[in-house]
Amino acid sequence: MQPLVSVLIPAYNSANWIGQTIQSVLAQTWPNLEIIIVDDGSTDQTLAIARTFASDRVQVFTQPNQGAAAARNHAIRKAQGDYIQFIDADDLLAPDKISQQIKLLQASPPNCIASGAWSRFYHHPREAAFTLDALWQHLSPMDWLIAAWQENLMMHPAAWLVPRSIIDAAGEWDEGLSLNDDGEYFCRVILASQGVQFCGHAKSFYRSGISGSLSDRKSDAAYQSAYRAIELCTQHLLQVESTPRTQAVCSMLFQRFIYETYPAVAALQCQAERQVQALGGWTLPPSGSPSFEKLSKRFGWRMAKRIQYFIYLIGYRRWKTQQQQKLRQSQTSGLPSWLES
């Protein structure tokens, strides 16, 4: 009998996209699938749209808003599959994505996980350009993580297919994290495996550019989550191998955090700098856009970051003012003219 694959979809206010996501899963050429959707307290039509797909193959659950990690844990507890496929409610899978990865894993050594080719898109998946990077090959768990952290590479959740036994060994998603909860989780999944098998024919599509997405948030809570995720990832890696090469690559994570967040969250900056020193010191030069590079050469990277941060705040305040004006207009529309004045 063909193994069962559980496709897990956490969803929050995804009414504009969740229908396409579910359809891309239902179009899979692998026939033995169950789809588990967990609505995380959406305030739009996400739950209603998901329920239109409910069937013997598609289960829909709802919970009060607790975050994506909690929704994924809920879905894992409901899943019965031999393999787990995560996909966010705005991403897409190519029709043969799961079939290709199962075929690869069945021909691979035991206890491996499968990664796949992926690409960003903004409006339509035909925009996707699949670009080879250092992670697009078979790698040991340690070599995969070192390559990813050295070169600042990622692989979004939908690119993976993971045997249930490895999911159970890795443990649940950390519900205390918001930003980079997937990076911390898949660090544990990779280390719980015997290796990463890359499948170039298994394609997934990562939707980007959504206003208000978690990855774009710059609140103190988001920074706290990003820092905590780095802290946990370094702990996971160093527990397996604590050598100069692993310490150096862990230091890089903290160095990037400093460059990317400065001058915000001063207390976390200090903690990150102490971690860098404890792990062997600075090895990464600051990098950024061409304008940042010019400013950095003239004024130093810290002043360049302060200038960029100031420009960001001006842009954010202008956007917030525009939103408030639109809200006031919507609240007064339809009133008698003597009330609108």
Domain parsing of the chain, residue ranges? 5-215, 217-314
CB-based contacts of 81: which residues, under 8 Å, 6+ apart?
3, 4, 5, 6, 34, 164
Report, as an integer, the average pLDDT of 93-99.
98
Structure tokens at 291: 């304008």
DSSP letter for each residue of 39-89: EES-SSSHHHHHHTT-SSSEEEEEESS--HHHHHHHHHHH---SEEEE--T
pLDDT at 280 over 90: yes
Confidence of residue 328 (pLDDT cuts 50, 70, 90): low
For the chain, how long is the longest CA-to-CA vector?
76
Distance CA 108, CA 199 (A): 11
Per mean pLDDT, which range of 205-219, 267-281, 316-330 is the poorest?
316-330
Distance CA 316, CA 13 (A): 23
pLDDT at 220 over 50: yes
Confidence of residue 214 (pLDDT cuts 50, 70, 90): very low
Residue (of 13, 10, 57) closest to 37 by Cα position: 10
pLDDT at 250 over 50: yes
Looking at domain 5-215, its CATH class is alpha beta
Report, as an integer, the average pLDDT of 280-305.
88
